[in-house]
Amino acid sequence: MIQLVATRERLVPSERTSINLIFLLAGLSFASWAGRLSIIDTVLGLSGLGLGSFLLCMTVGTLVGLSIIPTISRFVPTKRLLCSLPLGLALCLPILGIAISVTQNTALAYVALFINGIIFGCLDIMMNVSGARIERELGRSIMPSLHGFFSLGSLIGAGIATASIALHIQSIWHFVFVSVLIIALAFVAHLGLASWENENFANRAKKKSEEGSHNPRKLGLLILLGLMVAGLSFAEGAANDWIAVASVDGHGLKHQEGALMFTLFVGAMTIGRFVGGMLVDRLGHKYTLLLMGSVGLIGVCLFITSANPYLIGMGSAMWGLGSSLGFPVGMSIAAARSERLGPKAVSIISAFGYGAMLGGPPLIGLIVDSVGLPQALWVCAVVLVMSLLLTPRVSRRPK
């Protein structure tokens, strides 16, 4: 009997493994519909402005989720939120699939993506806060690897999307398959969360925030750091939203090739996040961000200007590699300076990052109809240059 109990305990995932799985399923959910954007664009007959407004539904929904989850978390235990929110993501995908494959109803697609955004925003905060809790208990940084699992989920999702498009599988069946996969991952993650206390992370963060400093000089440095992270996050979000569409509508590639370019981007980003910790330990924050930001800038330029599919793929991969560390390293810098910048530093940097990643790229749709694709993506190159100029200032070691 004792042996059976011990065997069962070994089969139950650890808290960290459970959070890794939640990050992974969040990335899987996001990439599943993002990898089909070129199909969605074609089926629904969206213009550049129409596609931008479609993506804006996800953005607005996510920002709503980010704003309401602190209140929700005061009344609902963290474990329950981490278990139920993934099920909401799993439910939204088939509804989006019905809108695309069955009814071809643009309004239903907009509503489904908006609700998906709300749930995604809520889950994002809860899984990051939970990851930070585990990080504090371990006494070492794990946030880059957690975001690496999100990218790994995105890579899996992009790969499934590429395969389903190549096999001419309708969106509805693709999304149903992914939904079942998300539910299975959520169930396994739930097992490792069984021992969690029903503590209120929002209240604990509020208590800590009361100790923060409001020094204008510190706030100015924090804003600069946030702008740098925002630039790199913008480049990441723009690729998520536009690489597949730009490959098809701008470069004339096939739909499965557009999905492949998105997969290359996500794959390179995944690798960058898993090895990024070692690179930071060797080079430091400043030179790591300068190196990776430069790689990303070259990748964006290569993607826009190339006509050869292989060079477009190389540009996609370099774009992903260069964008991979901006957000997690920016949060690491903020965490390392928590005494200097105040305990709200990480949450503020997170707001900058997600705001730019989700809010900026849909605005590219406003200029697509005027300048076309992929030319509209030069905005990403300009933003990356601005981030590189800010990097030396915000990545200095605190005195």
Task: For 171-215, give the secondary structure using H, E and C.
Answer: HHHHHHHHHHHHHHHHHHHHHHCCCCCCCCHHHHHHHHHCCCCCC
At 6 the pLDDT is: 41
Residue 140 neighbours by CB distance under 10 Å: 7
Under DSSP, is residue 170 helix (H, G, I), strand (E, B) or coil?
Answer: coil
At 13 the pLDDT is: 63
CB-based contacts of 90, cutoff 8 Å, min separation 6: 29, 178, 179, 180, 182, 183, 186
- Domains of the chain, each with CATH number or no CATH: 15-193 (1.20.1250.20), 215-399 (1.20.1250.20)
CB-based contacts of 209, cutoff 8 Å, min separation 6: 342, 343, 344
- Name the stretches of the chain with pLDDT < 50: 1-11, 197-202, 204-205, 207-213, 339, 341-343, 399
Distance from CA of residue 185 to its chain's centroid? 18
DSSP classification of residue 372: -
Residue 170 neighbours by CB distance under 10 Å: 15
Q: Which of 255, 90, 262, 253 is nearest to 167 (CA)?
A: 255
Single-letter residue type at 318: M
At 47 the pLDDT is: 66
**Burial class of residue 369 (count of CB atoms within 10 Å of its CB; 0-12, 13-18, 19+):** middle
**Is there a contact between 192 and 18 (Cβ–Cβ < 8 Å)?**
yes
Q: What angle do CA 204, 343, 327 make, to 5 degrees?
A: 105
Distance from CA of residue 251 to its chain's centroid? 25
Whole-angstrom CA distances from 66 to 72, 127, 201 are 11, 12, 14
**Is there a contact between 113 and 46 (Cβ–Cβ < 8 Å)?**
no
At 224 the pLDDT is: 84
Question: For the whole prediction, is pTM greater than 0.85?
Answer: no
At 8 the pLDDT is: 40
Peptide bond between residue 361 and the one before it cis (omega within 30 degrees of 0): no
At 395 the pLDDT is: 65
At 358 the pLDDT is: 72
CA distance 134 to 143: 10
Residue with tokens 């030396």: 392
Half-sphere exposure (Cβ direction) of 206: Cα atoms closer than 13 Å = 8
Q: Which of 207, 286, 26, 29 is nearest to 131 (CA)?
A: 26
